[in-house]
Structure 1
Amino acid sequence: MLDEIVKHPELFWLMRDSCKENDVCVTVCDDLMENGDLRQDLIAILKIDAYFKTPKFSKPPKSIDCLIIIKTGERKFGLTLVELKNVSDARSLRPREIEPKFDTTIDDFLSGEFKSIFMNPGVTISYLHLWLIANPYKWSPERYRKKLKDTVLGMYLSKKPKFSFRNKVAGIKPMHPDDQDNVVCLPGITESQR
């Protein structure tokens, strides 16, 4: 899958060295890096919203910021869909505007335009993660984990139906920008190994 992405002109143009926007980012663990660069044999980061903002779309649909693809085995890959938000208050983060971004990515990008790559029956999807990285409450990571479930955002995301792709089901997981959980690694890498 990673080779096909590099060889595909539209997908190659979407490749990035990081998943970052407005000072909010996902950390890539050292095992997926070599001399400060992503190991292209193990990971690809695609800027999904850049695809939907091309002249190909007269009215671009809402889409996530990044798709992170990690090789987890022979012809096996994990997918992490990431929406990054640097917002100053909770009113700036509208849950009903977030869900369509993941729908667009799964339905139009993965299952639609690029289904020959992402729906390839010869490739196994190991996992599907959907992350919303934001801290509209300006809380510490510890307080964020404890208190988020009592907020409108936390309640909304915990009750929403799950998303599915290739027999993998996931809900949107809200995460603090400084949380150690928003690190992408090879499966089996423990916290102490990061």
Structure 2
Amino acid sequence: MFIKELQKNELLAPYIFSDCCENNICVEFDPSISEEDYIVIKIDDFYNATVKSPDTPKSPDCLIVLRCEDGSFHVFIAELKNVQHMGGLNKKDIREKFHTCLTDFMSGRFRDIFYNEKYRFNLKLFLVAGRVRESYSMNFKLDFLLTMRPLQFANKFYGIEGQTPNPIVRPC
């Protein structure tokens, strides 16, 4: 099973948690979801601890794997930003973080897991920006992210979705 395979991986085990929080911004889970049905891998912590060089790649905060009732999975990659205004968001850095996760982490280092045909999953990329005034939230979702090129993973293209602080992962 997908979650068990990730949990038993010795390289990943120290970076598996049940929460996805950074800088007072979190991705929350619907209370009906059992902690056995999801895991959170702290991707940024993984890279900061395992890549010992000044060229440590930029990486997103969390990768969440959620088991669905039908046996499939949802994978969410989340970057959490606590910003006061739009100027605090660097489009190039954000894209680079997701690119690292998709190309190096999922398609490279852990390809045997993420490309395993036994595991079907839907993939979503989230930028969760906090402390953004409500009036900016719609502009944030529509303008900023629409100008970013989609990222490719497993011959599919994915856009980054904007989320206001503390989005809730729902059962699937």
| TM beyond 0.5 | yes
Question: Across the two proteins, how many residue pairs are aligned to each other?
Answer: 170
Matched, 1:185 2:170: yes
CA, structure 1 residues 57+73, in 2 after alignment: closer, same or farther (shift >3 Å)? farther
Which residue of the other structure, out of 52, 56, 60, is the alignment partner of 1:57?
A: 52
What is the rounded CA distance, in whole Å, between the counterparts of 2:67 and 2:155 in structure 1?
Answer: 18
Which residue of the other structure, out of 106, 112, 134, is the alignment partner of 2:108?
A: 112
What is the rounded CA distance, in whole Å, between the counterparts of 2:96 and 2:78 in structure 1?
Answer: 13
Residue type at the aligned position of 2:138: K
What is the rounded CA distance, in whole Å, between the counterparts of 1:102 and 1:55 in structure 2?
Answer: 18
Residue type at the aligned position of 2:169: V
1:146 CA displacement: 3.5
Residue type at the aligned position of 1:184: V
- The CA RMSD measured in Å over matched residues stands at 1.9
Residue type at the aligned position of 1:172: I
Matched, 1:139 2:133: yes
1:92 CA displacement: 1.9
Residue type at the aligned position of 2:22: E
Name the residue aligned to 1:158: 146
Name the residue aligned to 2:96: 100
Residue type at the aligned position of 2:118: G
What is the rounded CA distance, in whole Å, between the counterparts of 2:74 and 2:3 in structure 1?
Answer: 11
1:186 CA displacement: 1.5
Kindly report which structure 2 residues correspond to 1:167-186, keeping only aligned pairs within 5 A, or say none. Answer: 167-178=155-166, 182-186=167-171
1:161 CA displacement: 2.3
Rg: which structure is higher?
1
Q: TM-score, normalised by structure 2?
A: 0.89
Q: TM-score, normalised by structure 1?
A: 0.79
Larger displacement relative to structure 2 (164-173 or 48-57) = 164-173
5+ long unaligned stretches in structure 1: 34-38, 188-194
Do 1:71 and 1:78's aligned partners in 2 also have CA atoms closer than 8 Å?
yes
Name the residue aligned to 1:43: 38
1:73 CA displacement: 4.7
1:104-141 deviation per Cα after TM superposition (whole angstroms, max 9, x unaligned): 0000001110111111112112x1111111146x313x
Residue type at the aligned position of 1:32: I
Residue type at the aligned position of 2:81: K
